Structure 1
Amino acid sequence: MTFRIVIPARFGASRLPGKPLADIGGKPMVVHVRERCLESGADEVWVATDDERIAVAVQAHGGQVLMTRPDHPSGTDRLQEVAAQLDLADDDIIVNVQGDEPLIPPAVIDQVAANLAAHPGFGIATLCEPITTGTELFNPNAVKVVFDVHGRALYFSRAPIAWHRDAFADGAPGETLPEGQWWRHIGIYAYRTGLLNRYVGWSPAPLEKAESLEQLRAMYHGVPIHVAPACETVPGGVDTEADLLRMRSLIGEGQ
């Protein structure tokens, strides 16, 4: 199996501007992400950005950068431009690793690429992990996924799915939930290039706009998405200043 990793990195994050360049242990966050990716089995690791400051920082640490347009509506669109620049074949696999996951385990990167390679009938592969508390299940920032016995995604939502009719009759459940019934989506994706080329030609789907989840555009157009539990725990990414402080502490303490 061969695959490439692309790390989309934008400077203008709404909640934490300049996030890819945030210093963690003396290095920009995006550099930490790239170093994790280099520990995987990927053939190449690219950072895709529209900002010269990010490009300079990555290249200063020996990284490969592709400059992309500034007007992409989503990370998936940016990924497709990278595939076009690299002139990849339709069957080539690209793994999208978020630039705010400096502790992502290399094993899960290999896992999601291998899952897509092993399931030729799927256009995308992604991962999930158990939800064990009512707080997380009812948190709209934690994206939930349900999937069938073959690992095919049935739906992604910010709502608490599946809805347990009896247990949730009086509202949110307590803090302890049984494992194996509810799953949080982990935002790592493996794509075939041919799917990316089709994706960017589709208009945003009604479900995608309602949930603000771009993977629903692919599902709306009938693309099967493979879902599997992650082989290792994936630490949370960096969305807020509090997340950044936590990550600095974790990396400073050797995790």
Structure 2
Amino acid sequence: MSFTVIIPARYASTRLPGKPLLDIAGKPMLKRVWEQSLRSEADEVIIATDDQRIAEAARGWGAQVCMTASEHASGTDRLQEVVQSRGLADSAVVVNVQGDEPLVPPAVINQVAANLADTPEAGMATLSEPLTDVASLLDSNAVKVVSDVRGFARYFSRAPIPYPRGLDLKNPDALQRYPVGHWQRHIGLYAYRAGFLRRFVAWPQAPAELLEQLEQLRALHHGEIVHVAPARERVPAGVDTPADLDAVRRLCAASNTN
């Protein structure tokens, strides 16, 4: 299986300025993401950025860097620029590893790439995990996904879907009477075919995408097949807030992660 990992990295962040270069137990966060990606089976790992500070730091620790335009609206647009500049074939598989996922397991990077390679009708693939508590079900930051028997996504939402009639949302144990698996939380790790990326960035934003602020809904709107599978390993939460950063720092320090 052949695939390329691309890590989009922006310096600007409203809640955590300079997020990619923030220290986690002696290493910049982005370096930890890069090292985890190198442990996967990827043919190459590329950091895509528009910021010279990130580029210089990454080159300093030996990373391959691709400079991209500053006006990209999303990481997907940044990926497409790398795909275009490198002239990748339409069939090439590219995995988007977020630059704020310092604990991403290499096994799930391999998994999402293999899932796409094994599903020729799909343009992209992603992962999910069981959602078992009411708080997460109601959390708009925990994106839910519903898929069919073939493992193809039907919808992604910030809302609690599917919504069971009669569910008592005031009871924190309300989900315990339902079998595990009724609700799946989407994990933001994606594999794309290069040809799909070329189509995707040419489409306008879809109505549901604008409402939910979920980019993957653009693919469904245009009839693309999105493969979804349960992650083989637990994927720790990424770093979006100062509290997330503190939690990851404690975890790395406690585990003596190098």
TM-score by length of 1: 0.97
- SS of 2:187's equivalent in the other structure is strand
Q: Is the 8 A contact 2:134 2:169 kept in 1?
A: no
Structure 2 unaligned segments of length 5 or more: list them.
none
- Could you tell me how far 1:174 is from its partner in structure 2? 2.2
| Counterparts of 2:70 and 2:115, CA distance in 1 | 31
Q: CA deviation at 1:176?
A: 5.5
RMSD: 1.0
Letter of the 1:141 counterpart: N
Confirm or deny: 8 A CA contact 1:68 1:78 kept in the other structure: yes
* 1:14 Cα deviation after fit: 1.9
Partner of 1:179: 180
CA shift for structure 1 position 26: 1.5
Structure 1 gap segments, 5+ residues each = none
Contact 1:132 1:176 in 2 (8 A): no
Rounded to whole Å, the distance in 1 between the matches of 2:193 and 2:222 is 15
Q: Which residue of 2 aligns with 1:118?
A: 118
Q: Distance in 1 between matches of 2:40 and 2:254?
A: 23
CA drift at 1:173: 4.5
Are the equivalent residues in 2 in contact too, given 1:135–1:175 (CA < 8 A)? no
Write the distance in 1 (CA, Å) between the matches of 2:128 and 2:115.
Answer: 13
CA drift at 1:171: 3.7
Map of 1:153-192 to 2, 5 A cutoff? 153-166=153-166, 168=167, 170-175=168-173, 177=175, 178-192=179-193
Give, in whole Å, the separation in 2 of the partners of 1:67 and 1:173. Answer: 50
> Which residue number corresponds to residue 223 of structure 1?
224
TM-score relative to the length of structure 2: 0.96
Identity of aligned residues (%): 58
Aligned to 2:85: 85
Contact 2:156 2:217 in 1 (8 A): yes
Runs of 4+ in 1 over 2 A off after TM superposition: 170-178
Letter in 2 for 1:174: P
1:57 aligned partner, one-letter code: A
Letter in 1 for 2:189: I
1:62-211 alignment, distance < 5 Å: 62-166=62-166, 168=167, 170-175=168-173, 177=175, 178-211=179-212
2:44 partner letter: E
Partners of 1:58 and 1:99 in 2: how far apart?
Answer: 12
Task: Give deviations 1:145-195, integer Å, cap 9, x for gaps.
Answer: 0001100000000000001012x2x44552462411100000000000000
Task: State the number of aligned residues.
Answer: 253
- Does the Cα contact within 8 Å between 1:92 and 1:193 map onto a contact in 2? yes
User: Which range moves more in the overlay, 234-243 or 11-20?
Assistant: 11-20
Q: Secondary structure at the match of 1:253?
A: helix
